[in-house]
Amino acid sequence: MKNLLTYINPSKGFNDCDTLVKVQIDNSFSLGWKKEDILLVTNFPYEYNGVKSIIVNDEHFCAVRPRSNKTTIIPYLLNLGIIGKEICWVHDFDAYQSEVIEESELGLDNVDAGFTDYGWRPRWCLGSYFFKESSKDIFERLKNRIFENVEDETALMELTENDVDGINARIKRLDITYNLGMRRIANNYGKAEKPLKVLHFHPVYKGVKLLDNFMYGKNDLGFPLMTERLADIFKYHGIQ
């Protein structure tokens, strides 16, 4: 399996993700990922802990929907062979793997991609998802809609609501354990398979320190969701 992180920006730097990219790389190594399976795609040179970025041109920046860049870049990476036949996990810099994820547990043998919803509502959430080479045409369709100023999640909803080209038989709705976010934590925790596989939150969001919810248990459940292993990586990088 491949672990894909993308950051394409006119500033040619990580901006608010300069620490999170290091957390992501160290966390991946801690969970057993091999260096060659960590794909960091940027439009500027970068290296940390032996992981060098794969540099793409500025033209791949989606100015109308920059948050959807991780989705629009996929057809290009597939065309170049940077992503091959292996299942690929793509996720935001604030979606942190908590436990080892095995390909077999995803159940993607007979489908082309797997997406979660928000847990508390059925809308697709594209902060953390898995796909295979055979999904290329799906992402080409998504890319076209995104560049028409449509968010990637909305574009996927359009495809599935209309079952374009039989897409509903080609994708799987994954358990919320692969993308447990910052809203309605208790509800989503109750639904999620355990142990939790991916925690999705920014340490500080709109002035609120969400790290406390996950690292220190200041949430409706009353206990932390983050493992000590992952918490130690955050603390090592000065996030606590």
Q: What is the DSSP letter of 210?
A: T
105 contacts: CB under 8 Å, gap ≥ 6:
none
Q: If you average pLDDT over residues 197-212, what whole number do you get?
A: 90
Structural contact between residues 99 and 197, judged by C-beta atoms closer than 8 angstroms: yes
pLDDT at 238: 95
User: Domain coordinates of the chain in residue numbers?
Assistant: 2-236
Is pLDDT above 90 for 98? Answer: yes
Phi then psi dihedrals of residue 173, to 5 deg: -85, 115
Widest CA span in the chain: 48
Is pLDDT above 90 for 119? Answer: yes
* Structure token pair of residue 62: 């989606």
Give, rounded to a whole angstrom, the gap between the first and last alpha carbons of the chain: 30
Q: If you average pLDDT over residues 62-68, what whole number do you get?
A: 91
Q: Exposure pattern of 4-20 as b/e (b: 16+ CB <10 Å)?
A: bbbbbbeeeebeebeeb
pLDDT digits (tens, 9 = 90+) for 17-28: 899 999 999 999
Average pLDDT of the chain?
96
Distance between CA atoms of residues 74 and 70, nearest Å: 7
β-partners of residue 199 are 96, 180
pLDDT digits (tens, 9 = 90+) for 13-60: 998 889 999 999 999 999 999 999 999 999 999 999 999 999 999 999
pLDDT at 178: 98
Q: If you average pLDDT over residues 207-231, what whole number do you get?
A: 94
Confidence of residue 157 (pLDDT cuts 50, 70, 90): very high
Structural contact between residues 184 and 120, judged by C-beta atoms closer than 8 angstroms: yes
pLDDT at 152: 95
pLDDT at 181: 95
* Structure token pair of residue 148: 């028409």
Phi then psi dihedrals of residue 135, to 5 deg: -90, 5
Distance between CA atoms of residues 147 and 131, nearest Å: 21
What percent of the chain is modeled with pLDDT above 70?
A: 100
Of 3.90.550.10, 3.40.640.10, 3.40.30.10, 3.20.20.210, the CATH number of 2-236 is 3.90.550.10
